[in-house]
Structure 1
Amino acid sequence: MNSRAWENPWRLMLGVNAAVLIGVFLYKITLQPYVPYIHLLVDYHFGFTKRALIGALVALFTDKVPVWLVFALGGAAWLITAGLFVKLFRRTFGLDAANLPLFVLMAGSPFFLKNFIYTLGHFDIYGCAVALALLLLPARSVAFVIAAALASMLLILIHHIHFLMYVPTIAAIVVLRHYLVQGLTRRNAVVGVVAALAVGLLFLAAQFLGTMAVPPAEFVAHAQSRIADPSREDLPRYIHSFAYIWYQPLSQEIRDTWDRMPSNLLGLPVFALLIGLHSPVWRFFARSIAVLSSDIHRRIVIAAVVLVSAAYLVLFAMVFDYSRWISNWAACLFLILHAVKMLPASQTVPLIPAHDRRTTVFGWIVTLIPRVGIVRPF
């Protein structure tokens, strides 16, 4: 390895991250995506149903769903999300050598693109992609608020958990990019209130009215009829095993989560360590907030971070996929950082030092960690 690579290790980290991404993908496609696959089998055949929009769209094009479609759709979503992030980072910070440490610590984070590869087929990435698109779109008119509301409603139809996972971040982006820049008028205030009510009502409908109304046997039979490969004996068995997802009330989900709480809490030190490895990003985030020109802007940004974090705390109490929640929480903070950098600042924030030894060590550790996981760390 030449000395030039060691002089600028952040470029080398980019290459290692690319190799790790490929490795995670190759490992992922060896696993059976049972739950993501079942989601593609569920549509609106029996009426309004939670978690059914993607399956309903698939049903418009084919009656039989192959397993490879999970990886095809998930892979396409990942490529779009990665492309949007690179475009956003280039617009916000630039992709020159000085910004490489920040780019590596974000794009190469095991919380972010690498974990989205590992959770390929799950619906988290759609929320991230929507938020990235909203950070790139013009935000001057109320059309931006309406677009954000409609996108949030689509996310809830995809999976109602987006109401806590990405809708608060989308709301923060709308406030930071539209309302703080354009000011609060009667028109955009009314649009905002109506949009928030519409999103909230749709979430309540999905949560409490989207439960499957037919007997489980009928639901399972319909889902099994959409399997493309009838020789796969494992698929009908897993469809039967996971059919409870579309029948289980919220109270039971919360009980299941709290039953698993003691063992899941054992992962908190690992999550804390992973969060600490990103401390250069968090310090840069804090400084970016501190130099905002307006004290009101600073307070609203802090309130937005608190709101998003509080939504994830509620999520922690309700559903036990802790590694996913921690990873998406960090991704949401990355997104809010970009929104903060679009606000007027009184001075320039010093970049993350490329030659600081501690920061470089953190960068290598973050680079070499392939992903965080779904429920427990790793």
Structure 2
Amino acid sequence: MTARIMQNPWRLLLAINVAVIVGVFVHKIQLPPYVPYIHLLVDYHFGFVKRALIGAVVALFTDKVPVWLVFALGGVTWLVTLALYARLFQKTFGFTARTLPLFVFIAGSPFFLKNFMHTLGHFDIYGCALAIILLLVPAGSLLFVALAALFSIILVLVHHIHLLMYVPTIIAIVVIRHYLTHGCDRTNVAFGIIALLVVSALFFAAQFVGTMPIPEADFVAYLKTRMADPSRTELLQFAYIWYQPLAQEISDTWGRLPHNILGVPVFALLIWLHTPLWRYFSNLIAALAKDTHRRLVVAALAGVSLAYLVMFAMVFDYSRWISNWAVCMFLILHAVKMLPAARETPPIPSEDQKTNIFGLIITLIPRVGIVRPF
């Protein structure tokens, strides 16, 4: 029995992943939700401001925001994302014994669902969920491009950093699923360019015009009126982020760089542990039927990675950024699988000892973190 499990341990690894996720959740709900909670309090009461869409939606349903709502809303979003990804994997690869190692390497990655559980309440997961929806819906008409534009606008209103974090991946999905698959004409190219300009303009408006227009003390006083328990003033300590200019964010990031850069070897090791997955992805690209598709996919991967490199220079939440970069790679992998292929790509081997060891290690790693590794 033990020998059989060691030869083909993927069902056991899947069960271990579930246990690890439960453990991460139990740990998470015991931590104070500093940044996620204040995002539920900020709305458009004082006019257009950055990072206010989620709070504005919450304000439609309740005048007082309890702390537990962070975990309830975040938990529901996490479960929806899990369900969406399970449906996407079933659609793209199917759930069989041959595809189980691939599912474990992606869904069980410490970069993905486990880290989203650790960052429960943060805005990253919304980009992932909306990108998955774009991988699930039909892509044959301009409605698909319009939906992608709408999702991008929503994400920028949730947090303008999504322009670098998930909007490039959404663009890659649109190019792969719509333009490469269904062709280009003047209408859909012009529509795509206009949509991109609108999203970019909204980003600049949020970044440079979306500062809170009242003194910080008055802003904090308003936030207290939205709190179910106004005595918990420690949850308002991040109110300054609605006033901090971009130059200050960059200065803070570079000031922390000598310390935070120490995590890069750990990130590199975590990426290396996914070698069987990256090898499969590389083979998938090599098997594409058209050279043009291969070149554009490689360009898309480079573009998404460049956006994250820019983000690394601007904001210091490095563990979150590297995790979301990996998630974007996972999602683009699904998009590539939908393109015409010249040959079948062999799945990740289920009985290879080295692959099994890598799968076990990434299964046991509970998450990557927010700023520094773990």
- Pairwise TM-score range, normalised by the shorter structure: over 0.9
Give yes or no for the alignment of 1:310 onto 2:303. no
Q: Superposed, which structure 2 residues align to 1:1-378 within 5 Å?
A: 4-230=4-230, 233=231, 235-239=232-236, 241-378=237-374
Q: Work out whether residues 253 and 313 of structure 2, in 8 Å CA contact, stay in contact via their aligned partners in 1.
A: yes
Distance 2:279 2:8 in 1: 22
TM score, norm. by length of structure 2 = 0.99
Distance 1:365 1:262 in 2: 28
Q: Work out whether residues 43 and 55 of structure 2, in 8 Å CA contact, stay in contact via their aligned partners in 1.
A: yes
Distance 2:191 2:12 in 1: 48
Q: Work out whether residues 41 and 227 of structure 2, in 8 Å CA contact, stay in contact via their aligned partners in 1.
A: yes
Q: Describe the superposition over 1:303-330 as per-residue Cα deviations: whole angstroms up to 9, x where unpaired.
A: 0000000000000000000000000000
The amino acid that maps onto 1:236 is: T
Aligned partner of residue 255 in structure 1, secondary structure: helix
Distance 2:150 2:159 in 1: 14
Q: Work out whether residues 135 and 335 of structure 2, in 8 Å CA contact, stay in contact via their aligned partners in 1.
A: yes
Q: Work out whether residues 37 and 235 of structure 2, in 8 Å CA contact, stay in contact via their aligned partners in 1.
A: no
The amino acid that maps onto 2:155 is: L
Instruction: Please tell me the root mean square deviation across aligned C-alpha atoms, in Å.
Output: 0.9
Distance 2:35 2:340 in 1: 44
The amino acid that maps onto 1:114 is: K
Q: Describe the superposition over 1:60-82 as per-residue Cα deviations: whole angstroms up to 9, x where unpaired.
A: 11110000000011001100111
Aligned partner of residue 238 in structure 2, secondary structure: helix
Distance 2:94 2:235 in 1: 46
TM score, norm. by length of structure 1 = 0.98
Q: Work out whether residues 127 and 166 of structure 2, in 8 Å CA contact, stay in contact via their aligned partners in 1.
A: yes
Deviation at 1:170, TM superposition (A): 0.1
Distance 2:12 2:235 in 1: 42
Distance 1:152 1:55 in 2: 18
The amino acid that maps onto 1:237 is: E
The amino acid that maps onto 1:267 is: G
Aligned partner of residue 211 in structure 2, secondary structure: coil
Deviation at 1:94, TM superposition (A): 1.0
Aligned length in residues: 374
Q: Work out whether residues 107 and 113 of structure 2, in 8 Å CA contact, stay in contact via their aligned partners in 1.
A: yes
Structure 2, gaps ≥5 residues long? none
Deviation at 1:238, TM superposition (A): 3.6
Distance 1:9 1:174 in 2: 36
Identity of matched residues, %: 67
Distance 1:192 1:7 in 2: 49
Deviation at 1:229, TM superposition (A): 1.9
Distance 2:169 2:68 in 1: 31
Structure 1, gaps ≥5 residues long? none
Aligned partner of residue 98 in structure 1, secondary structure: coil
Distance 1:291 1:14 in 2: 28
Write out the 4+ residue segments of structure 1 that deviate beyond 2 Å after TM superposition: 1-8
Deviation at 1:237, TM superposition (A): 3.4
Deviation at 1:6, TM superposition (A): 3.8
Distance 2:141 2:234 in 1: 51
Q: Describe the superposition over 1:193-240 as per-residue Cα deviations: whole angstroms up to 9, x where unpaired.
A: 11011110011111111100101111000001111024xx3x32341x
